[in-house]
Structure 1
Amino acid sequence: MRSQILSLAATALTLSQIVVGQTSTDCNPLNSTCPSDTALGKTITVDFTEGESSEFSADTGTTMTYGTNGAEFIISSDGTAKTIITNNYIFFGKVSVALRAANGTGIISSFVMESDDLDEIDWEWLGGNSTMVETNYFGKDNTTSYDRSTSPAVSEPQDTWHIYTIDWTSASIIWSIDSVVVRTLYYADALDGANFPQTPMRIKLGNWVGGAADESEGTIEWAGGSSDLTQAPFTMYVKNITIQDYTTNGTSYSYGDMTGSYSSIIINNNSTSTNTSYSAGETVGSNSSSTASSTSSSSNSSSSSSSVPVSSGRSNQPGCLFALLGLGCAASLFL
């Protein structure tokens, strides 16, 4: 999650909006040898209306509640952020979340995928804006350019349930809202792959105060203004999440070197005590067609079930030499 931008006034001679990374990692495999990451290796659907899930852990300082609307990320008057993180990693995959963003000026709801070497793919919602959501990405915490975000339109994200999807392979990242594609990023378009997120990731869901008094001027400006915590609580709801790991033949992932390239990732299989790595140029993963679907899955809290399809495959992207064998399965989200 990127939580700072410099003020427009400070960047008048450069860019109109600059994002500064503020992420951290317990061990960065680009700098040292780190423990392997436990692989999800399958597809799961978590229904938060049934309560806490063993697939997630709460971040420090986070206390969660659960109800008929699922997981409740409640920011109270103390302004403490609320975040839960998957225990396992995916190495390319598809993640779909049924979510209602928090309202409130300066309140930021987020759905983030992040790796140990600080590759990152984001959805972020501004509580004071009822017409859009922000998409963004970062490669290896690289903030040398600041023109990566987009702001696709979405109707009343604080009051209406929508399904937000990230479909991530070695060839592309596709962001979709209610099965309609709103952005596609190809590997070559991310600084010839240098800024393309491509290492095993966990999923983070959270709600935080971008308009807090102790945030920088730029962060407050980006968040839409100062937050009035006397108006709390501000609550983000997540009803359910489906996570598909496109790599299903391993139990953990480790970095074979310090390049941060997907071709260096080793897939460890404990059952056979053998390691398998993808070859450079191989298309890893299977994602949706770039043709936008005309089917909408948005609903309110009284809606019945709605299906989120997962494609069984797609042809190679330019520059990729091989297709990954047989990955794809259907998953449903229930609203």
Structure 2
Amino acid sequence: MQYHLLYAVLAATITLVLAQNAADCNAFYNACPSNKGNTEAHINYDLTQPLALNKWTTLGGEVVAGPHGAELTINNQRDAQTIVTDYYILYGEVSVEMKASPGTGIVSSIRMLSDDDDEIDWEALGDFTDMLQTNYFGKGDASEDYNRWAWQRVTTPQEVFHNYTWVWSKEKLSWAIDSTVVRTVHYADAKGGTHFPQTPMRIRIGIWAAGDPSKSKPTIGWAGGETDYSKAPFTMYVKSIDIVNYTPAESYVYSDRSGSSDSIKISRLVSSETSATTDTATQILSSTNSSTMTPYSASQNEISGSLTVNSSLTESKNSTIPDIPLGQMTIPQIWLYLETKAQNIVDFISAKATAIFISKTGTITSAIGAWDYFCLEIFGIIIFASLMLVIFSAWVCFVLHVCTPPENNRLRF
């Protein structure tokens, strides 16, 4: 059981990452061209209008604008339509009004992706009518993918338009549904900030079939089952997109391969008060208020009145696993539930190991390298499997009474 659980987790992680569009140039390993920016601090797209859709790059076939917005459709196997901004933003707010596609195995996704594989996700699965997933990556590291994702409650996302919002600052990242915050990750939460998304990103919105028969079994299971293309077309709708860029600029340049926001040089930052060039993102973002996440003061006048998201956001209890009685879960939901429970054990072990490492060495360097973390995962899975075996054995003994000796075989005194 330990082997199969580990295999499923790793295979799902690898497959999910490969299924997404890769960055154009991986700046973590290569010297990449500058990222094109946008000098507008606030941009809004009404995608019921074809002209607005023309401002996006379309991948995987023609995307049309209808009365319900941009229509991204899967008609046949291997269809995967995506729209992408031709510019990057560095910290800000992105709000997308979307109705997800129904259909087993169909994924409606809203993502931001940088050139060094920082990533932020919303993923709505076609058969999950009361929840969707949030996720993030730093530097493309998927080793803890099943720890970073979380389930969020949402009402019939395949039938109703909802506003899905990120509020992304240097200090923290929040996900909100219809102006209610459902999850927050602070900088320090992401491996001490080393895996916190912090480099310029483009917005990518698309549809793909994780339930395609060519995908791995763990991926198909994650997606809710195998996609039946005889029920196509599968369509997601994007009615509007609102983008607030905290650091509007003509371009962003990676000055080194550290993957840190401090290494990002911003070219010709434009605001209503001044036009300037700054060396690093840190200088520009130093005045960002971490509690309200209002844009830096230089562009305050330019976008006055445009930031309506922060003032209306309210906190909501985060849910990392489906809040459903175990007996009522589907097989994919049970699988995710067990994975999450197993990961909790691994996290506990990892935290203990890190504390011991720090106390023994006097350094805060992570004790959980690739090999150490792999070993800890194996150990955690063995413990989890052992606990499950004990629970199952107890159930067999006490419910089926197979452990009760026959009356005539009992010792009599």
> TM > 0.5 between the two?
yes
SS at match of 1:258: coil
Residue 143 to residue 258, structure 1, CA distance change in 2 (3 Å): same
SS in 1 for 2:71: strand
Q: Which amino acid aligns with 1:19?
A: T
Q: Where do 1:317-328 residues align within 5 Å?
A: 327=300
1:274, CA displacement in angstroms?
3.9
Aligned positions of 1:187-206 closer than 5 A: 187-206=187-206
Given that 2:11 and 2:216 are in contact with CA atoms closer than 8 Å, whether structure 1 keeps it comes out as no
How far the C-alpha of 1:77 sits from its partner, in A, is 2.9
CA–CA distance in structure 2, aligned partners of residues 208 and 9 of structure 1: 29
Give the conservation status (yes or no) of the 8 Å contact 1:8–1:16.
Answer: no
TM-score (norm 1): 0.81
Query: Is residue 225 of structure 2 the alignment partner of residue 225 of structure 1?
Result: yes
- Residue 280 of structure 1 deviates from its aligned partner by 8.1
Compare the two structures and name the one with the higher helix fraction. 2
Q: Higher Cα Rg: structure 1 or 2?
A: 2
Q: 1:285 to 1:62 in 2, by over 3 A?
A: farther
Instruction: Report the counterpart of residue 180 of structure 1 in structure 2.
Output: 180
> Any residues of structure 2 matched to 1:1-335 within 5 Å, and which?
10-11=4-5, 19-20=13-14, 21-22=17-18, 23=20, 24-41=22-39, 42-52=41-51, 53-59=53-59, 61-146=60-145, 147-248=147-248, 250-269=249-268, 274-279=277-282, 283=286, 285=288, 289=292, 312=294, 327=300, 329=304, 330=306
Identity, % of aligned positions: 39
| Distance change in 2, residues 1:9/1:84 (3 Å) | farther
How far is 1:278 from its partner?
A: 2.8
Deviation at residue 31 of structure 1 after TM alignment:
1.5
TM-score, reference length from structure 2: 0.66
Amino acid at match of 2:226: S
Residue type of the partner of 2:71?
E
Q: Is the partner of 1:204 in helix, strand or coil?
A: strand
Task: Note closer, same or farther for the CA distance 1:212–1:262 as it changes in structure 2 (3 Å cut).
Answer: same
Map Cα deviations across residues 151-173 of structure 1 (whole Å, 9 max, x no partner).
Answer: 11000000011100011011000
Rounded to whole Å, the distance in 2 between the matches of 1:81 and 1:51 is: 20
Q: Count the aligned residue pairs.
A: 295
Deviations 1:206-257 (A, max 9, x none): 0110100111111111100000000001100000000111003x21001011
Q: Could you list the runs of 4 or more consecutive aligned residues of structure 1 that deviate by over 3 angstroms after TM superposition?
A: 12-18, 270-275, 279-289, 323-329
Which SS does the other structure have where 1:263 is aligned?
Answer: helix
Unaligned runs of 5+ in 1: 1-6, 290-310, 314-322
C-alpha displacement of 1:78: 3.6
Cα distance in 2 for residues equivalent to 1:267 and 1:109: 32
Over the residues paired in the alignment, what is the CA RMSD in angstroms?
Answer: 2.8
Q: CA deviation at 1:276?
A: 2.5
Report the alpha carbon displacement of residue 332 of structure 1 after superposing the two structures with TM.
7.0
Q: What is the deviation of 1:26?
A: 2.5
Q: What one-letter code is carried by the residue in structure 2 that aligns with 1:150?
A: A
